[in-house]
Structure formats: structure tokens, C-alpha cells
Amino acid sequence: MKILCIGRNYVDHARELKNEIPDRPLIFMKPSTALFEGKKWHKPGFSEDVHYECEWVLRMGKNARNVDEEEALRFVDGMTLGIDFTARDIQSVLKKKGHPWERAKAFDGSAVVGEWQPFNPKPQQFSFYQGEKLLQRGDTDLMIFKLPFLIHHLSQYFTLEPGDLIFTGTPQGVGRVEAGASYAGFLGGKSVLSFEVEA
């Protein structure tokens, strides 16, 4: 199982981090050891500035290679919300040096996923909270690169296999994770994701 992630897929998020808006998908990967499905998440000791990034996540149900956009959605079998945790302090150093992001993005437990739902190809709205405070609100219709194109594009480079995950990018509102705080994500108004950060 592999985790494929799309960076800067919402205009407002690219702008909030003062990044260029991409003209093609920005792709990075996380290993299977990044996956976390528990309720108590531990911040890594090597970073002082870990950020949450809530995203619409898709799960592949069939092998997909060189898939046409028109056929792409039939290869997906589930959706949920996930968190792409980012060690922002480490990422900033890596970006300045032109180095890959793996240490900041692909560490153990950096990919939280929620409860899986049947895939719905219609645009999805989602929200992410710390306690009662709204942190992020997303609409997949606002993604720069829509899902059919993403699957088509990814499948030109990687064989997508059953169980592979696609993190489709985060909207604006990312921020620092707080120790002891509780977080929850809602997809289409339904609670699909919740966890607490260990103090």
C-alpha cells in the first residue's frame, strides 16, 4: 500500500503559504508506516512546529495504469478525510535547500485517516475542527486539479493498486497542532474523523 499526496491543490492554500500556484500536480509520497488510524496521536520529538492539513482522501479499489480521465472514477471504492501532518520547521529548511520533503511529510504517523465511506463522485464539502473552533472548510469542487485528472495523471507514473490512498490536497486554514487538543473532521456533515493529540 502506498500513499500518494497532492500539494498546493487549492489556490487559497498555496497563497496562504506564499507558494506559487502549480500548473501541474505537485506529487509526493508517504510510506505505509505513515498511516495512523488510532485516536491518540503523538507529536514527533524532532519538530517544534507540526501542522495539520485536512484533506479529502480516496481509496483505490482496482489496479489502474494509464487510465483515461473518462474512466478514472470507476477505480475508486472509498472516501474519507485525512490529515497530512507536516513538520513545518523541517520542511522550511528542506525547501530552502531544494531538498525532498520526506523528513517533514512522510514520518511515522503523518497520515491520519478517518472512517471510510462509499465513494461519491459528486463535489464534497468538508470541515475540520479543534474542539468547537472551525479550522478549515473545504469544497472539492474548488480543487485546482479534479479527481479524474489526478487519477489519470498519477496512473501515468505509478500503477495504482487496491488499497492505495490519494490525499487530494488541503484548503486554506492550516495551522500548528496543539498538545492535549481534540480534533474532528466532517465530510458532508457526517463525522468521519476524530483524534486527540497527546499532551
User: pLDDT tens for residues 25-71?
Assistant: 999 999 999 999 889 999 999 999 999 999 999 999 999 999 999 99
For residue 85, pLDDT beyond 90:
yes
Give pLDDT, residue 179: 95
pLDDT band at 16 (very low <50, low <70, confident <90, very high): confident
d(CA 74, CA 61): 9
Please state the pTM of the whole predicted model. 0.95
- 153 φ, ψ (degrees, to nearest 5): -65, -50
- CA atoms within 13 Å, Cβ hemisphere of 2: 12
For residue 17, pLDDT beyond 80:
no
Ramachandran sector of residue 169 (left: φ over 0; alpha: ψ -120 to 50; beta: rest) = left
| Domains of the chain and CATH, by start | 3-197 (3.90.850.10)
For residue 21, pLDDT beyond 90:
no
Query: What percent of the chain is modeled with pLDDT above 70?
Result: 98
